[in-house]
Amino acid sequence: MKKIMIVLLVSLFGFAVQAQEKKNKNAKADVEVKGNCDMCKKRIEKAAYSVAGVKSAVWHSEDQVLHLVYNEQKCSMAEVEKAVAKAGHDTKDVKAPVESYDSLHECCQYDR
């Protein structure tokens, strides 16, 4: 009887583990980030890389989109957006604090 109970518990535990949502280690995402120039590009990418779990961060000034590859087990998009906003650049969901925006170089200050 004990063996049957143990087998039953182990199999139920196995199903429970498989049913959990698996987070992607190489999740890809694009997020709109406001900026103007190459200085903005460096600042935005540096802010994104400051978040543990970000593997790739490339910002394009033409379309103002940050292309990310990140580990969902280590960080979230919200964390990346907060880090970029803290550096002074508005994202689609997170607005940069006024003092961070005001500290940007004159050419980096975009239209809010």
Percent pLDDT > 70 in the chain is 84
N- to C-terminal Cα separation, the chain: 70
- With H, G, I as helix, E, B as strand and everything else as coil, classify residue 39: helix
User: What is the pTM (predicted TM-score) of this model?
Assistant: 0.78
Domains of the chain are 23-108 (3.30.70.100)
Q: What is the mean pLDDT of residues 87-107?
A: 95
Q: How do residues 23-67 score in pLDDT, each as one tens digit?
A: 788 999 999 999 999 999 999 999 999 999 999 999 999 999 999
Total residue count of the chain as it appears in this document: 112
Paired strand residues for 102? none
Region of residue 84 (left: phi > 0; alpha: psi -120 to 50; beta: else): alpha
pLDDT band at 101, cuts 50/70/90? very high
**DSSP conformation class of 100:** H
Q: What is the mean pLDDT of residues 99-109?
A: 94
